[in-house]
Amino acid sequence: MGEVENMKDGSLKLTKIALFIASSFVVVGCQNDQDSNTIPTQAHYAYRDMMICQDTNLNAVCDNSEVKKSSIYGFPFSMRGPFLLDSSEYFLTASGQSEVISPFTTLIQNEVLFNPLVAGDPAKAKAYLNTVFGEKYQLDFTALNSREGPQNETNLLLASFKHALSLQGDSKYLKIATAIDKMVYAQSFDITEILTQNDIDQRLLFLNKQYLLQGSFPVTELKSLRSLSIDVKTRQLLSLSTEGELFAMNLNNGSYTSFSPASKSLSVATSRDHDDDHDDDHDDDHDDDHDDDHDDDHDDDHDDDHHHDKYDDADDAWDSWYDNFMNYYNNGNSNVSNSSARLVFATQGEKNDLSYLVYQEPNMLNASLDSDCKSSGNNGVFITATGTKLMTSTRDIEIDSRGGASGSDIVNKRPRLPKPPVIDTSAMLASKAACRNDNIGWVVSDFKNKNIIAVFNNGVNTLRLLDSNTLKNKQYVYALNSPAKDLKVNHQGTKLLVLQENGKALILKSKTLQYVKELPKDNIKAAVFVLEDTEILISQATNMLSWLGVQSNNVLKTLQLEGDISFISSQGEAKYSAVLTSKRLYLINNIKHSIEQSISYSATDIYGMSMLNDKIIIVRKGHVDHVQFNDWVGSKLQMAKKILSRELLDTWLKKRGGALISTTLGAILRTTQDNILFSEQFENIDIQWSPSSAQSSAEVTGVTLSGYYRTKSIKLFKSLPKSG
């Protein structure tokens, strides 16, 4: 593991770890928004004054946690869509390579998400739309990726989209897709008189929470983890191995970066004023409020070439700063530390450009038994402020388990996510603030209260609140009877659930660490708040789940599962939870206190599990498994391709018996699933096994799925590799 530099007052700590985290957490090459939010001047549309977000989870909502900008140019280079503008009047989307967001980019992104013929490629989507609408409306969709379209056609599309959104149904993406299907059939952008509620009802594909679709990202770098954190807002994974290797993954598409801090870190002495100025400048570059203050001050008369030159200028400015620093360092201003402290824990900060790193010296025997932040020392928790050059390595687009593409670009003028693995040898700014203490073992964030909860071990067994921005001591401390093994802050940010190694669990007030109660159960292995913090779901190292009332402390319901429970996770209001046992993965309905869905899961060497709003993430040795349960987007044929797997084939043959035959996906699902309504949606998807001579699962190498898309017969092939 990498050494920690001596963090004396008035010095900047620089380390390759900081650059690694920056390259992983989608903050790449940020520039001043004052120059970056201009769009070529066309007719002014009201939607151009509205905020845009990056809808990475395709839930058709600009969530509170998602970054919002006034234009696509305001986003860092690596935040490559898909983009969304969602308001009471408009629902517009754009793929990752778009430079504007408009009704025409919405047409393009719809094809990326839904059209099996374009295979998630924006370039193919634009070519397809040119063949359908180009001649009639005299449009070139390759140009409409970067500028507004003609006013009359724009108004026709806006009116048609508004009409589609006024019809009943939960999914805005599917409403827009149905409207565009009707446009293709009618060869017209005006479908306000012919799009009906029946069209919407026939098109909607209800899959949410009706099926658990398992996929996996193989990653050889994942091994022997010391710490693991998953940020549900940024959808980023950060882990630290026992060998000192840091690993980060974008959970939307599986792109990742790994880094082993084998060589020495760098530090350069400087004045306190220089340190503060650099930190302040860095914060402003990433502060949304700062960005938005300048949104209305830009001149809209700049053309596209100005924008591309501007990006080059931003890169050149970074190069200049980096070259100046390296010249300074190479001239003898290094001050490399000989500290034996080791990185023992890493977790993500509130912003993409910040992380918390905990250092501790191994076999520390002379530590003072206190929980105060010291003025000096190599051990403790450090806020790591990060930044990096523009990354230009690439990764092919991933068609994820929603059945559509994420909208990331295939040919893009801006840099994309790194191709794994990426090892960067540059050095960057690391420490912005610190709480130095030999006893800090790990930390948990509570950003709603602007706190970090530091866990002090080495016999101290104390929790202390630190300011999440400055890491300064707060007055609130709680001494535990047994070391803490897990902390959970509730969704509202009012309560803290403390699991101790002695099997006891406490509830404290999160803002003050004041004792509230002890849970009336022993040997508690896992516990989470559920149902808007009104209940707690717990396991006691058995196959039994229990729901406890937070106020009453009474057991409300118990549920028996197959296999001993190893992990429990919830997200947000926690109407649903994920529960992993030694035999199965369960999606639990906390409202009904029942099993919603489950699948067989017997993998071993599992490090942790987390729940996003659309999928369950399981991190194990060599793999990051993702199990989709919500926010499905795509055509039926695309969904069928994702659902059909080697495991489903084997399960079908086992339950059905007999030789392998050509069939429909609906027939397979009727045999393997209890949900008849779910299977009926795939009755028209024909299945032919490859090779055609195959008589058993062992002989099957792939499958051809046949169905219809916009009245045209389409065939898709999927390889079915053998497990192991």
Mean pLDDT of the chain: 78
The C-alpha atoms of residue 535 and residue 538 are separated, in whole angstroms, by 10
pLDDT in tens, 64-104: 767 789 888 888 766 677 999 998 889 999 998 899 999 99
**CB neighbourhood size of 543 (10 A):** 16
The C-alpha atoms of residue 647 and residue 443 are separated, in whole angstroms, by 39
**CB neighbourhood size of 519 (10 A):** 20
> Given this model, what pLDDT does residue 101 score?
94
| Higher local confidence (pLDDT), 321 or 634 | 634
Domains and CATH numbers, the chain: 52-206 (no CATH), 209-224+520-630 (2.130.10.10), 340-391+429-518 (2.130.10.10), 635-719 (no CATH)
What does the DSSP 8-state code read for residue 372? P
Predicted structure pTM score:
0.72
**What is the share, in percent, of the chain residues with pLDDT greater than 90?**
50
Using only the alpha carbons of the chain, give its radius of gyration.
Answer: 27
In SS3 terms, 384-449 reads as EECCCCCCCCCCCCCECCCCCECCCCCCCCCCCCCCCCCCCCCCEECEEEEEECCCEEEEEEEHHH
pLDDT in tens, 378-409: 899 998 754 332 222 222 223 233 333 333 33
> Given this model, what pLDDT does residue 68 score?
86
pLDDT in tens, 467-509: 999 999 999 999 999 999 999 999 999 999 999 999 999 999 9
User: Distances from the Cα of 120 to the Cαs of 65, 112, 116, in angstroms?
Assistant: 26, 4, 8
| Higher local confidence (pLDDT), 564 or 63 | 564
The C-alpha atoms of residue 112 and residue 191 are separated, in whole angstroms, by 21
Residue 661, token pair as written in the block: 């035959």
pLDDT in tens, 35-59: 333 333 445 688 888 999 988 777 7
563's torsion region: left (phi>0), alpha (psi -120 to 50) or beta? left
In SS3 terms, 101-166 reads as CCHHHHHHHHHHHHCCCCCCCHHHHHHHHHHHHHHHHCCCCCCCCCCCCCHHHHHHHHHHHHHHHH
> Given this model, what pLDDT does residue 674 score?
73
Q: Which of 125-139, 242-256, 319-333, 547-561 has the lowest mean pLDDT?
A: 319-333
> Given this model, what pLDDT does residue 684 score?
93
User: Distances from the Cα of 677 to the Cαs of 210, 522, 589, in angstroms?
Assistant: 10, 42, 19
pLDDT in tens, 578-616: 999 999 999 999 999 999 999 989 899 999 999 998 899
